[in-house]
Structure 1
Amino acid sequence: MRDGDLVRAVLKDVETEAHVGLHPWERHPERPTRLLVSVEMTARRTGRADRGEGILDYDPIREELRAWGGRPHTDLLETLAEELLDVCFRNPRVETASVTILKPDIFNEAAAAGVEIRRHRDSPA
């Protein structure tokens, strides 16, 4: 790769739990909702990856996801997705990011239901 190439960091289908949802059956504190979360970030490549230069660190995203089980109830998946996007854009090099959050156990007739938000750094919040 050369400087200026795009690099994309991906966390795919990270399984976590959170207290989330609007439905009455999603509001039981003893039963969090299982979630599958995918995050993608892109940036211009700078430096040499073999020296740790120009890479996108997905560890902050992973740490955020690990903390979800202990957070208070959140009504909307969109709230969780927006918070993850904020974590992505803490890295000033990130140009675009997308977050997908799926509830795989919510409806019997569907593999999953959820949301995806994609954002460019220069998009209005």
Structure 2
Amino acid sequence: MSLLPSWPEQPPLRRLFVRDMVLDAQIGVHPHEHGVTQRIRVNISFGVPDEHGLSVGRDDLSRTVSYERLVQLVRGIVAGGHVRLVETLAERIAAGVLAEKRVRVVRVMVEKLDVFPETVSVGVEIERRQET
């Protein structure tokens, strides 16, 4: 569930997503969080140009972005070593997704699970756009 407002409709974008990716991450600022892993959940929603009318019936990967490549990207970033802040992790993921030439805007949510017994998660959601 996103808390950010809807994306503007111009230019038209097709929204794609990777939802509820749960990984073990080395993350946290507190001493007891160093040298251990914690479960995190990553959600990515990204917009690519929607060539409606031009692409009807075209079953062509060049119209989209490989989900597999983005999942591998997230795995690699998380496996890259200890990160202190979920905000930093979200920024790294967003930068990696925006490196895909078709992506115009990305939203990344990173949540730490199992932190407080009375919460499902704590975390951050960011939105970043291609600079024009």
* RMSD value, Cα: 2.0
Q: Work out which of the residue numbers 37, 50, 54 in structure 2 matches 1:32.
A: 37
User: In the alignment, which residue of structure 2 is the partner of 1:98?
Assistant: 107
User: In the alignment, which residue of structure 1 is the partner of 2:3?
Assistant: none
Q: Percent identical across equivalent pairs?
A: 27
User: In the alignment, which residue of structure 2 is the partner of 1:58?
Assistant: 67
Structure 1 unaligned spans of 5+: none
- 3-state SS of paired residue (1:88): helix
Taking structure 1 as the reference length, what is the TM-score of the superposition?
Answer: 0.82
Structure 2 unaligned spans of 5+: 1-10
Matched, 1:18 2:25: yes
Taking structure 2 as the reference length, what is the TM-score of the superposition?
Answer: 0.78
Matched, 1:80 2:85: no
1:32–1:69 CA contact under 8 A, matched in 2? no
Matched, 1:9 2:16: yes
- 3-state SS of paired residue (1:118): strand
Aligned residues: 118
Residue 79 and residue 69 in structure 1: after superposition, are their counterparts in 2 closer, same or farther (change >3 A)? Answer: closer
Deviant stretches of 4+, over 3 Å = 46-49
